[in-house]
Amino acid sequence: MAPRSNREPNRLNQPQMVGSNSHFALSRDSNMVATTCFILGNVRTCEQHGKAPPVDKTEKAAESTKPGQIGSSEQQTLTLQRALDLALQHHSAGDLHEAEGIYQQILQTDTKNPSALHLLGVIAHQEGENEGAVGLISKALAIKPDYAEAHNNLGLALQELGRLEEAVASYHKALAIQPNDAAVHSNLGKVLWEMGQLEEAIASCQKALAIKPKFAKAHCNLGTALQEVGSIDEALIHYHKAIDINPHYAEAYNNIGVAVQELGQLDEAVTYYRKALAIKPNFAEAFNNLGNAFKPLRQLDDAVSTYRKALAIKPDYTKAGRNLLFAMQNLPGLSPEELFTECLRFSETHTRDIPRPTKLTNNRSPDRRLRVGYMSSDFRDHPVGRHILPLLSSHDRAKFEVHCYAEVLRPDAITERFRSCIDHWHTTVGKSDAEVAKMVRADGIDVLVCLAGHYDNNRPLVCAHRAAPVQVSYHDVPTSGLEEMDYLLTDDFLNPPDTKEMFTEELYRLPVFFHSPPIENAPPVAAVPAEQTGMITFGSFNNPAKMNDEVIRLWSEVLGSVSGSRLLLKNKNLYHQTSLRGGVLERFQAYGIGQDRIVFAVTLDRMREHLERYREVDIALDPFPFNGATTTFQALWMGVPVVSLAGNTFISRTAGSILHHLGLGELLVDTPEAYVACARDLAGDIARLKTFRTTLRDRITASPLCDATTCARNVEAAYRDMWRTWCAQPHNTP
């Protein structure tokens, strides 16, 4: 796919649960995500589990008979049951081909044998042929409606196909026949978790454990659901119980890693992921999670390597592919061509089997009221959510009908604010991309906006199904790589007309891209700290993943240019990690900066306490090539000037765009030498630092960055322009 032309439009303005099977090891790994800002969170494992098939060890003839002999003279006296026992032996041993042959021969004699039909369906499921599995197991159930194991295994196959409501119905049918089957209760808990029904999932797993207290996989599933509702300590208790029952339980070690990583214990998380991989070397989810731990530990090469290992095991692993894209953007020296190629590889992997959609039938009146859909996992207390809420609250509802398609498992107070300010709210939790696209088309959406597509649990692949006539990427960073994504919103600073970046979308430049509401309940701006300390304190509260070796080298030059200065580093509680602190200090020391000049903040603060730490910072230093956006805005809001080095890509110009639109171009430089000089000159001008402290907040409040109404009108004008372009296209356009 070639990059789309960068022509100007007419208007230049994101624990794996473990499931259980009644017959054989029909386990499946499905993604459970704990998200943090701009990082696809780690995958907890949640398996299907259950009983092995019964095999009569006393059947000497069956034990000694080799597969394929059922039609021989020696075997003609075998009963169908003995043949079935023979097939079960092969099936239990993992000899699927031999078992399948015997099941098929049984059906040649008895075409309505429910066991053979069911077990052929089991093999189809094990081999990834879930449509075939559903067909075969359904035939068995038509013959034997009270076949509890078949209802359970039909649920597994339906679950794999994303037909979650049908899977729930199958599990309930199994439980109506065998109400005390712990494995089915655990499976039901898993599918309820996938559907976002977390309290019901917890109750179902607890029923499984009431029946079978030493059920390791049910403990693991219960822990997964508890972690999803924020009960991490309780989740850890159940993960450890699972390991006490089964010390070789890779999924439980993986899930402990996810839990302790969510608590900021990265070194410990790495240890648990490695334990999981030692037990299960082809554990793609554990490799992905290990990469997620390596990123904030600044081990970017290791992160890239482990994501690639996950993808080598599971090439269509969406989360590992997206995490790889994120990690690559932090690497200095990555060319636009390299990133574009990786984005195309990701999109082609996940769209090759998507059928071309039928023609859309939206009313092509260019000036009618438009239906705009926003699709995101970030309609909550999250940077993207906070940035986008003022826009949605300010839409002209007489001209735009606003829908939200929410992949939100943990709604919060911000979620409720979204729900209250739009016309229609739709949850996408537990639905496949194809189902979400069908929802969007059924709602008659004219413009579908995919927010922060590559990050968190967002659903950009819905757009590959051509869900709406106009599809827009907003607050994503690289290209979506999707031919079906029509536009990417940006501005003239982020992507100037001569940008070297490559996109499958057409760039649509807003007058101002970034918008952020005033920060509520922020502490007052403090005095310049150097006046009290007698030294200049530089600071960075960005993700450590952004602090590559080139950044440390340049920051060392800054510290070397300002006598007695120090650097305060903070990001949540991540610097509590011994390995992270040690690695950072080692790199600064390599550039001549002693350990006494680097200060770490290690507490996990609430927002107000976090912002108060800027009282200790005189000048903020922006990383590169992945600039800070939210951190830049927060520092400026607290009266702290931010020195930024502008690169030649969107991600390396985000802080610059904010500074540019605030009229703070003197803080924005284009060479490393100028970066050092700017920071040094600021450090030597206390009066100028005082001016920033006393004027920045008012300056931001009065700027376009906080003007929600103008932002909404500009975005609406963009949508209308895009819509009119589609209306003017031939009517056979999808």
Same domain, 426 and 379: yes
* pLDDT tens profile 478-505: 899 999 999 999 999 999 999 999 999 9
User: Of 132, 162, 194, which residue sits at a domain end?
Assistant: 194
Greater pLDDT, 719 or 50 = 719
Same domain, 462 and 391: yes
Same domain, 488 and 620: no
The answer to whether position 94 is within a domain reads yes
Q: Residue with structure tokens 């827009």?
A: 472
- pLDDT above 80 for 43: no
* pLDDT tens profile 60-104: 323 333 444 444 434 443 588 888 999 999 999 999 999 999 999
Query: Which sign does the torsion angle of CA 484, 509, 459, 437 carry?
Result: negative
Kindly report the CATH number assigned to the domain that includes residue 618. 3.40.50.2000
Q: Which domain holds residue 553?
A: 530-706
End-to-end CA distance of the chain: 19
Same domain, 400 and 540: no
Same domain, 149 and 74: yes
- pLDDT above 60 for 5: no
* pLDDT tens profile 377-407: 999 999 999 999 999 999 999 999 999 999 9
**Sorting pLDDT into bands at 50, 70 and 90, what band is 734?**
low
- Residue 2's identity, in one-letter code, is A
The answer to whether position 307 is within a domain reads no
Say if CB 50 and CB 26 are below 8 A apart.
Answer: yes
Kindly report the CATH number assigned to the domain that includes residue 177. 1.25.40.10
Mean of pLDDT values over 557-581: 96
Same domain, 437 and 538: no
Per the confidence metrics, is the pTM higher than 0.75? yes
Say if CB 734 and CB 357 are below 8 A apart.
Answer: yes
* pLDDT tens profile 463-481: 999 999 999 999 988 899 9
**Rounded distance between C-alpha atoms, residue 181 and residue 169, angstroms:** 15
Greater pLDDT, 46 or 193 = 193
The answer to whether position 668 is within a domain reads yes
Q: What is the pLDDT of residue 79?
A: 81
**Rounded distance between C-alpha atoms, residue 718 and residue 535, angstroms:** 48
In sequence order, the β-bridge partners of residue 570 are 601
Mean of pLDDT values over 124-137: 94
Same domain, 537 and 473: no
* pLDDT tens profile 230-265: 999 999 999 999 999 999 999 999 999 999 999 999
Cis-peptide, bond into residue 625, ω within 30° of zero = yes
Same domain, 556 and 669: yes
User: Of 148, 179, 194, which residue sits at a domain end?
Assistant: 194
Task: Look up residue 543 and give its two tokens.
Answer: 């993700």
The answer to whether position 254 is within a domain reads no
The answer to whether position 23 is within a domain reads no
- Residue 217, judged by CB atoms within 10 A of its CB (0-12, 13-18, 19+), counts as buried
DSSP 579-602: HHHHHHHHHHHHTT--GGGEEEE-
- Residue 189's identity, in one-letter code, is G
Q: What is the pLDDT of residue 430?
A: 84
The answer to whether position 730 is within a domain reads no
* pLDDT tens profile 303-334: 999 999 999 999 989 999 999 999 999 998 88
Q: What is the pLDDT of residue 514?
A: 94
Q: CA 284, 315, 44 angle in degrees (round to 5)?
A: 30
Same domain, 534 and 496: no
Q: What is the pLDDT of residue 76?
A: 40
The answer to whether position 46 is within a domain reads yes
Given strand 619-621, what is the order of strands in its sheet?
Answer: 598-601, 566-570, 537-540, 619-621, 642-645, 668-669
- pLDDT above 90 for 11: no
Averaged pLDDT of the chain: 89
Same domain, 441 and 558: no
Same domain, 573 and 451: no
Kindly report the CATH number assigned to the domain that includes residue 377. 3.40.50.11380
Say if CB 575 and CB 600 are below 8 A apart.
Answer: yes
Q: Which residues contact 535 (CB under 8 A, 6 or more apart)?
A: 564, 565, 566
Greater pLDDT, 74 or 523 = 523
- Selection from 665, 658, 656 nearest residue 703 by Cα: 658
Q: What is the pLDDT of residue 57?
A: 27
- pLDDT above 80 for 141: yes
What angle separates helix 130-143 from helix 114-126, to the nearest 10 degrees? 160
* pLDDT tens profile 266-292: 999 999 999 999 999 999 999 999 999
The answer to whether position 35 is within a domain reads yes
In sequence order, the β-bridge partners of residue 447 are 372, 470
**Rounded distance between C-alpha atoms, residue 488 and residue 468, angstroms:** 15
Tally of CB atoms within 10 A around 243 = 18
- Domain count across the chain: 3
Same domain, 50 and 90: yes
